[in-house]
A and B are shown apart, each in its own frame.
Chain A
């Protein structure tokens, strides 16, 4: 129990534990997988360049070790992305917005509407090809407290942003 001396019944408050989360678009999963693939290929390319220009060639076993290690890590990463994806989700309640993420480290962040400074919709080049956008919500609490929901459809992101702008304006 949070309070030894209850003034209000905290059990009757809206419960975070019982929130239903809306899923993100599947394309977001593919976006992350593509990004990691590019990164891993980049690393492999770097290593390839490194051991070909080396005058004394590296022993075959260490070259094999590097590539197989990288492959194992890559597959593990993809597996984690797929497993973690269903856990990601967001929820709009009457007074706040909530975002949940994380398989190994679960994180639930929420920002009350009356603490939002402003919000914006962003889209990277890859994301545009996959038709997904990112919604960023800023508070006065500094960059670590900002909320970023990636993997929304452009329509949904714009709709939420409009809604937030109106709500924020009504609080001022």
Chain B
């Protein structure tokens, strides 16, 4: 580490200039892509003069961006002084940030495609304070980044080391590694209906944005689509649905590979470490203490292949920064047990009590998602046989889904932990320490009051809310009182 001296202000890697330029370009392209598209595709329709002005404008913008990149790079310094990490940046608006080393929570590093190509990484420093987003260095060469994380981490270890035994620090245990085959399995088990809908929404969003520029063709196509939708027979619909699902599957696969390629999940001391990604490489550390809720999601396909998607919800330092929940797909039941044993070391399988939601929950779900949409669809579309078919299929299907949703709605409580279960086709379990509750809400509608039912909501610092709908209101009150008692009587740190 002696090679790196962080006590004097230093700049990032000079490659940062290129990176800042690329980042600025990305920003502009993202904001102005419809204009650019028109410029390229409808080039002929502009006069010579307009085209020249456009070229000059582009040249000026590029020059400004180069200047911006150079200034940003030159004015960016970071160093460690008096046990504080300091960062100063900005050429128009100067920003000086400093954070005491002992308030640093985690150090995460990321690498997108350009950074991989330039062989630099970005380092993000997460603190317990509020001004977190700005503590980010985007272009460090790998060796400097490692040295910096080491330095910042060592400082944390020394402090925390007093409370934990020495030996744990040297251990580095790989819990899970995903290979090519695992990723294929994970991809197959995704919710393809959801990804199909996502694609449809995305495509229609793009069409919506473009329709102003290509009005004539748009209306033509819309008319054709309408004719097609109401003029075809059942076989065509079947093929169409099949095709959309196929695209959904391909989309899920691509997404899974982009996000989870080369995934490694390991334990180092009292934190987890996760790294993954194909184009955007990401490396995150998750201290046990910061984990608020551990959830795992399963569905029939995943059950068949014996794995779940694990999700760790972390306490966030700032309210806007909601992206702190971390997904780890492809965890077998054994992996899940290992992780649980690390996070909830003293848990036993005894002393749990289970409470189910009342069957009125199924009734209400069905009324809202089965009966009402069917009724509306039939009122407005009874003249089309297609609508009638879809509506009646949904009417029957929704009964089954509501029943499943009711069967899977329950919570379990032990003196230490609470576990909530929800789902319909799939199932999600969320487990947390009782003392990590942030606040509680008891809710009762007049319809619930007649049957002595209520809904309880448990708010956590990861932004996750555990909801127990339509439970007996006496149980709800008892749980409420008990959780308040646990939170108020124990001075254990929730973060």
Contact = CB atoms under 8 A, between A and B. Distances in A.
Contacts of B413: 2-3
Closest 4 CB pairs of A and B: A141-B459, A145-B459, A141-B438, A95-B488
- Most chain A CB within a 10 A radius of its CB, from B316, B443, B459, B465: B459
A46 interface: no
Given A112-B488, A114-B488, A141-B461, A10 B316 contact: no
Contacts of A14: 481, 484-485
A107 B438 contact: no
A144 B484 CA distance: 18
Interface string A106-117: 111111111100
A141 B449 contact: no
Nearest to A4: B353
Interface in B446-495: 446, 449, 459-461, 463, 465, 475, 477-482, 484-485, 487-488, 491, 494-495
Interface in B288-345: 315-316, 319, 322
Nearest to A97: B439
Contacts of A105: 443-446
15 contacts: A3-B353, A13-B482, A14-B481, A16-B484, A105-B445, A106-B442, A106-B444, A109-B441, A110-B480, A112-B488, A139-B439, A139-B461, A140-B316, A142-B463, A147-B439
Interface of A: 1-5, 7-8, 10, 13-17, 95-96, 104-115, 139-145, 147, 171
B60 to A, nearest CB: 42
Nearest to A17: B477
B381 interface: no
B479 A2 contact: yes
Contacts of A95: 484, 488
A32 B37 CA distance: 51
Contact of B445 (A5, A96, A104, A110): A104
B351 interface: yes
A15 B481 contact: yes
B284 interface: no
Interface in B339-387: 350-351, 353, 355
Contact of B465 (A10, A13, A144): A144
Determine chain A's interface SS by DSSP, over half rule: mixed
Given A13-B481, A147-B439, A104 B446 contact: yes
A96 B482 contact: no
- Most chain B CB within a 10 A radius of its CB, from A114, A139, A142: A142
Nearest to B490: A114
Contacts of A1: 353, 475, 478
Given A15-B477, A16-B477, A141-B463, A111 B353 contact: no
Given A5-B351, A13-B482, A95-B488, A106 B439 contact: no
A96 B442 contact: no
B319 A114 contact: no
B439 A141 contact: yes
Nearest to A137: B439
Given A4-B353, A8-B415, 8 more contacts: A3-B413, A106-B445, A108-B480, A112-B484, A115-B438, A115-B494, A144-B465, A145-B438
- Most chain B CB within a 10 A radius of its CB, from A96, A108, A139: A108
B440 interface: yes
Nearest to B130: A117
A13 B477 CA distance: 11
A143 to B, nearest CB: 7
Contact of B487 (A16, A115, A144): A115
A144 B443 contact: no
B426 to A, nearest CB: 24
A98 B388 CA distance: 50
Contact of B442 (A10, A108, A145): A108
Contacts of B488: 95-96, 112-114
A142 B319 contact: yes
A114 B491 contact: yes
A108 to B, nearest CB: 4
B482 A2 contact: yes
Contacts of B446: 104-105
- Most chain B CB within a 10 A radius of its CB, from A1, A111, A140, A143: A140
